[in-house]
A and B are shown apart, each in its own frame.
Chain A
C-alpha cells in the first residue's frame, strides 16, 4: 500500500544524502575551478587577479608535469599488473584444499589493513634500508653490495610497497569469485580431458572476468592518487623521480603555496580521473542489473 504519504516520506529521507553529496561535489570543485584562473599565492597575496589560462599553461608545460604524469601511469599500470596477475595465481592457490586454509587466508589479506604510513615506513626502514635492512642482508648473502633502493630505484620501490598493500585486496576479491565457480563444471571439464591451461583459459578466466574488471577499476581510483606512501618514503624524489600527479599538486599547494597553479593541477587531475570513472560507472551499472 504505497500511499502518497509514504512516498513523500521516502523522498524526504533521501534528501540529506543527496544534499550532502551534492554540496561536497559542487562547492569545492567550483572553488578549484575558480582559483585555477586566478593569480593567487599565499606568500604574495597582494599580487592577485584574473590569470586566464596562465596557471594551466605553466602547469602543463612544466617538465615536472610530464614526469609526474608518466610516473602516475607507470605506478598505476605496474601495480595493476602485479596485483591482478599475482592475485589470480594466489586466489587459485588458496582455492585448493590445503591444511590451515583459514590461517593462510588471514596472513595473506593482512597487509590490506595496514595503514599506508605504517606500510611505507616499515618498508623504508626495516626492509629497504641499505645499512641494516633485511634486503641489504639478503643481497650481501649473495655477495652483492647493498642497494640504496629508495635513492637508486625510487619509483620501483614505491611500486613494490603499493603492490604489497593491494595484492591482498585483489587476492581476496578474486578468491571470493573463484569460490562461486561451479564445482561440477570443473569436474565435467576434467572428465573431458581438459588440462590445466585450457581449464584456466576457458573456465576459470571467463568466470573471473567480472571480478577482475571490478578489481582493476577500484584499484585504479586509489592508485591514481597514491600519496602517503610517497610522502613518507621518498618525498617525490630524488628530483621528481617518484612524484606522481597527486604529490605534485600537494607540493605546489602546501609547500609552494601556489593556490592558482595547484588548482589548475587539481582540475587536470579531476579530468584524468573522470576519463577512468566513465568506464567504472558503466560496468558497475551493468552489474547492478544482473
Chain B
C-alpha cells in the first residue's frame, strides 16, 4: 500500500523541486538562449532573458571562422575510436573473468581498478615526451590510444558486472542440446551480452567526449577535439559570448541527449556496480 500523499504536500514539493532544478539547469539554459542572440544583445546590461533579435548567425560564424566541424569530427573520432579500442581489448578480458573465474580474478579486478587511481599529472611528463619523440603530439591516433587506456579499467569493470548477471545455467542447457563452443557464444551468450556492451559503450563515449586533461595537453590546432577548441575561447581578445554559446551548445548537445537516455547505466558504471 502506497502512502497517502496529500495534494498539498505534493504541490509544495513540486514547486520546490522545480525551482531547484531550474536553478541548477540555468547556466545551460542561459548558454542555449545566448547562442541565439546577437553579440550586442548578449552583453546587454541588465541582461535580456530572451533574445531580443533571434538569430542563427552565431552557428554559421563559428563554422566559417574556426572550422567548427573539424573539431566536432575530431571529438567523434577520439571518443568513438577510444571506446571501440577499449571494448576490443576489454570484452574478451571481462568475458574470461566473468565466465571462467579463478582464485586470482578478484585480485586482478582490484588491481585494474587501482590503475584508475593514478593521477594523470603523475605521468604527464613522460607521456608528453614520448609523444613528442614519436611525433604523436596533436594527432588523433595518439590521443585515441591514451583515452582508450585511461578508460579501460572502467570498461572492463562495467562489462564484468554485466556479464556476471548472465545465467550460466543456460550454457548447460545449450550444451545438453549439443551446442559447440562457438555456437554457444554466438547464439546463446552474445545476444544476452549485447545490452551490457551497449551500455558500457554509451558511458565510455560520454566520458571520452568530455575528457579534458589529455585532450588539452596533447593537442594543438590540428587534432583538437571540442574540449580543447572551446578552451581557445578563454583568451581575452574581446567578448564573443554569443559565439562561445553557439559553440558550447553544439558541443554539449549530443552528449546531453545520450546522457539523458543512459542515467541508469551511468550510476552503475561510475560506481563500479556498487550502486544499482
Contacts and interface: CB of A to CB of B under 8 A. Distances in A.
Interface of A: 1-2, 6-7, 10-11, 13-14, 16-18, 20-21, 24-25, 27-29, 31-32, 35, 90, 93-94, 96-101, 103-127, 131-132, 134, 136-137, 164, 167-169, 172-173, 176-177, 180, 183, 186-187, 190, 210-211, 214, 218, 221, 224-225, 227-228, 231-233, 245-246, 249-250, 253-254, 259, 262-263, 265-267, 269-270, 272-274, 276-277, 280-281, 284-285, 287-288
Contacts of A269: 119, 121-122
Interface of B: 1-3, 5, 10-11, 13-14, 16-18, 20-22, 24-25, 27-28, 30-31, 34, 42-47, 89-90, 92-97, 99-100, 102, 106, 108-130, 149, 152-153, 156, 175, 181, 206, 209-210, 212-213, 216-217, 226-228, 230-231, 233-234, 239, 241, 244-245, 248, 251-252, 255-256, 258-260, 263-264, 266-267, 270-276
Contact of A28 (B3, B123, B266): B123
A169 B271 CA distance: 11
B92 A284 contact: no
A107 B25 contact: yes
A82 to B, nearest CB: 12
B175 A1 contact: yes
A28 to B, nearest CB: 4
B122 to A, nearest CB: 4
A211 B152 CA distance: 23
Nearest to B248: A118
B256 A104 contact: no
Most chain A CB within a 10 A radius of its CB, from B97, B251, B256: B256
Given A115-B210, A263-B125, 16 more contacts: A7-B100, A10-B100, A11-B96, A93-B13, A99-B11, A111-B25, A111-B28, A114-B256, A122-B31, A132-B44, A176-B264, A183-B3, A228-B231, A246-B213, A250-B121, A280-B117
A245 B18 CA distance: 38
Nearest to A169: B270
Contact of A16 (B3, B89, B112, B209): B89
21 contacts: A17-B152, A24-B152, A28-B127, A29-B123, A98-B13, A98-B17, A104-B18, A108-B20, A116-B227, A117-B227, A119-B27, A126-B34, A132-B47, A168-B24, A176-B264, A225-B213, A228-B216, A228-B227, A266-B124, A273-B122, A284-B274
A94 to B, nearest CB: 6
B13 A96 contact: yes
A139 to B, nearest CB: 12
A6 B119 contact: no
Nearest to A172: B267
Given A117-B212, A211-B275, A269-B121, A14 B231 contact: no
B241 A125 contact: yes
Contacts of A108: 20-21, 24-25
Contacts of B1: 187
A14 B95 CA distance: 8
A110 B266 CA distance: 13
B10 A90 contact: no
B103 to A, nearest CB: 12
B205 to A, nearest CB: 11
Contacts of A16: 89, 92-93
Contacts of B90: 17
Leading 4 A-B pairs by shortest Cβ distance: A17-B93, A31-B126, A277-B117, A10-B100
Contacts of A172: 263, 266-267
B244 to A, nearest CB: 6
A160 B78 CA distance: 30
A285 B106 CA distance: 8
A124 B27 CA distance: 11
Contact of B112 (A21, A29, A224, A246): A21
A132 B45 contact: yes
B76 to A, nearest CB: 14
Contacts of A224: 119
